[in-house]
Amino acid sequence: MEKVVDARGLACPQPVIQTKKALETLSPDGELVTIVDNEVARDNVLKLVRSMECVASVREQGNEYYIHIRKESLPSTQLSVHPGQVLLVTSATLGRGSEELGGVLMRSFFYSLSETEVLPRRIIFINSGVHLCCQGSPVLDSLLALEQKGVEVLACGTCLDYYHLKEKLCIGSVTNMYTIIEHLTAAEKVITL
């Protein structure tokens, strides 16, 4: 039986995430066809296919790519929280340069993170990063999904006070610099954004 993921016109990383979800529910003898309309999406879906030990063939039709995927074997989809990883978010945007692009990248980052299987133990928000935990944040749904999967979300109280956001905190717990230092020094790995 053939399943179809029509990912034409979808922004990165949607084609990959939708393909992964469809593969996880695909029967062993089934086939999945993912349709994309650009080379970057095609290449990213093919990387996913290889990482999941599946086989694929690509048929190009005009400006569209039809990626036919069959299972050989799929790894366990069990979620795990990496006990020694802490993600430190220091800004409401990702990278330097365009604020608008940085906002798009941050949304994409947290959405993609919420869809992965290996997660950090906790995410700590400091400086303007605390905006992401508050009312109106474009990443609240992703943070909620992460919290529901066991990731602890912490926001710096001093930073919330500075930006007058304490009353607008929607997700996570308020913390202090001492506790932040404890978490950072105890972590096996700290990833800073």
Short-list 125, 141, 61, CA closest to 93: 125
Q: At what angle do helices 14-24 and 99-115 cross, to 10 degrees?
A: 10
Q: Where are the beta strands (DSSP E) in 51-176?
A: 54-61, 64-71, 80-89, 118-125, 152-156, 173-175
Q: What is the pLDDT of residue 76?
A: 47
User: 74 pLDDT exceeds 80?
Assistant: no
Instruction: Please name the amino acid found at residue 101.
Output: L
Show the tokens assigned to 130.
């605390």
How many helices (H) does the chain have, and how many strands (E)? 6, 9
Q: What is the pLDDT of residues 110-153, one digit of tens each?
A: 998 988 888 899 999 999 999 999 999 999 989 988 988 888 89
Q: What is the pLDDT of residue 83?
A: 61
DSSP string spanning 21-59?
HHHHT--TT-EEEEEESSHHHHHHHHHHHHHTTEEEEEE
- Taking residues 25-51, what's their average pLDDT? 84
User: 75 pLDDT exceeds 50?
Assistant: no
For the chain, what are the domain ranges?
2-71, 80-192
Q: What is the pLDDT of residue 101?
A: 93
Q: What is the pLDDT of residue 173?
A: 85
User: 42 pLDDT exceeds 80?
Assistant: yes
Sequence-distant (≥ 6) Cβ neighbours of residue 61 within 8 angstroms: none
User: 73 pLDDT exceeds 60?
Assistant: no
Q: What's the predicted TM-score (pTM) here? A: 0.63
- Give the C-alpha separation, 166 to 155, whole Å: 10
Segment among 43-52, 60-69, 87-96 with least mean pLDDT: 43-52
Q: What is the pLDDT of residue 72?
A: 66
CATH fold for domain 2-71:
Translation Initiation Factor IF3 (3.30.110)
Does domain 80-192 fall under CATH 3.30.70.100? My reply is no
Mean pLDDT, all residues of the chain: 86
- Taking residues 37-56, what's their average pLDDT? 81
- Give the C-alpha separation, 49 to 23, whole Å: 9
Q: What is the pLDDT of residue 182?
A: 82
